[in-house]
Chains A and B, each alone.
Chain A
Amino acid sequence: QSALTQPRSVSGSPGQSVTISCTGTSSNVGDYNYVSWYQQHPGKAPKLMIYDVSNRPSGVSNRFSGSKSGNTASLTISGLQAEDEADYYCCSYGVSYKFLFGGGTKLTVL
């Protein structure tokens, strides 16, 4: 099973908004509301940012939001800050391959 499809890179200026897409199939993203998003800074462990498509864990800024339409989930980061520069990964539960990650998206804050 191929990984979920994410853009390799996105960029934005401080204060702007960016959206990262995550495309799967009807066997994972499309069929389950178990999409989560992780932020990873170089050399660090991933950090949970969004779970169950659109829920934010305690302590995560409300500048981060998630949504889903059909087989594609999205992470939107508003009011970009320099500290948001990192790699972002989506993850979905799926019936056959249990958990699939996206290939990762490198966010650059210009």
Chain B
Amino acid sequence: QVQLVQSGADVKKPGASVKVSCKASGYTFTSYYIHWVRQAPGQGLEWMGIINPRGGSTDYAQKLQGRVTMTRDTSTSTVYLELSSLRSEDTAVYYCARGDRYSYYDYWGQGTLVTVSS
């Protein structure tokens, strides 16, 4: 069965960077895009960006340009999200989700809580 398993919760200080992993299994890793979506406490969903595991190409949300980097390791079927210059507003649950290029996210990871606090 399709599974996306994310790394555990993390606490960072303002200005630091965080790296979250998402390991895929149960399907051909290079056949689907991976999106990253975050959700601040009590808030809605926010799309962060997309990576094509086949070639590694990425597309990021405009507001995160310059602070976000998405990479993949095809040997381990793992996608990584790195967010730098962290601020308190980046405190959120971060989800990876398998999806189509334009259309949907059909399987989601369990979420990773990242807390930014001094």
Binding site for B on A (CB under 8 A): 3, 32, 34, 36, 38, 45-48, 51-52, 57, 89, 91, 93, 97-104
Contacts and interface: CB of A to CB of B under 8 A. Distances in A.
Given A93-B102, A93-B103, A99 B47 contact: yes
Contact of B103 (A52, A97, A98, A100): A52
Interface residues of B, number: 22
A36 B105 contact: yes
B106 to A, nearest CB: 5
A86 B15 CA distance: 35
Interface in B34-57: 35, 37, 44-47, 50
B59 interface: yes
Given A45-B111, A52-B103, A91-B45, 18 more contacts: A3-B44, A34-B102, A45-B95, A45-B108, A45-B109, A46-B95, A46-B108, A57-B106, A89-B44, A89-B45, A91-B47, A98-B47, A98-B50, A99-B35, A100-B47, A101-B46, A101-B47, A104-B44
